[in-house]
Amino acid sequence: MAPVDMDALKSKKVPIIWVLGGPGSGKGTQCERLIQRYGFQHLSSGDLLRDEVASGSAKGKELNEMMKNGVLVPRAVVLDLIKQAMLKNLGSAKGFLIDGYPREVEQGVDFEDQIAPAALVLYFDCSDETMTERLLFRAKSSGRADDNEETIKKRLVTFHQCSEPVIKKYAEKCVSISANTDVDTISKKCFESVDKTLKDLGLPVPSN
């Protein structure tokens, strides 16, 4: 894999927000709300990987097997996809929502070393029961190979083992939001945190 030059992004200094939480905690749903309010670019590691799978490449086939097993794909693969997507969307970016990344401590370290530090970490704290219920409901229409009972169980195990330590490591810049409730209540808490981060960075905050 050829190294990706991230200097253009480093010099632009746009805020980067990591959006974390277990499978079905509402990361994608809340990112939609955040895009509407702030006009940020949204990059979901899961979507980038599914695009690679859909391309039919040999790499995509390997990734699909791992995703169907609910395990993490190799970290160089996902970081490279994120770098490429950030550079592609840099022109108009007011900020980046990085959804579903980092999922293990090493991914966070790689990102901040090779790209830039995250300004804020939003973590959606949700019970396994609620997440499972939401994903099983979504399974009726999503067509996702990993939205089935067996893989959801594995995704939850991977989350608890690999991703919870990320929250501990970045506790200082992490805001934990209870995500067992309705979408609007969660959005309100997200907006409060992002507004504060923008203010702290001396950046404009939406007026409504």
Site of interaction with ligand AP5 (CB under 6 A): 21, 23-29, 45-46, 49, 66-67, 70-73, 78, 100-101, 103, 107, 134, 138, 146, 155, 182-183, 186
Assess contact for 178 and 104: CB atoms under 8 A: no
- CA atoms 4, 8, 13, 17: torsion sign: negative
User: How many C-beta neighbours within 10 Å does residue 191 have?
Assistant: 17
CB of 204 to ligand AP5, least distance (A): 27
- CA atoms 42, 47, 52, 56: torsion sign: negative
Token couple for 115: 């790209």
When the beta carbons of 9 and 152 are compared against ligand AP5, the nearer one is: 152
When the beta carbons of 6 and 66 are compared against ligand AP5, the nearer one is: 66
CB of 199 to ligand AP5, least distance (A): 26
CB of 16 to ligand AP5, least distance (A): 14
CB of 193 to ligand AP5, least distance (A): 16
Query: Cα separations (Å) of 104 from 149, 170, 189, 193, 198?
Result: 23, 11, 25, 23, 26
- CA atoms 106, 61, 45, 187: torsion sign: negative
When the beta carbons of 28 and 60 are compared against ligand AP5, the nearer one is: 28
When the beta carbons of 4 and 203 are compared against ligand AP5, the nearer one is: 4
Residue at shortest CB range from ligand AP5: 46
User: How many C-beta neighbours within 10 Å does residue 80 have?
Assistant: 17
When the beta carbons of 140 and 168 are compared against ligand AP5, the nearer one is: 140
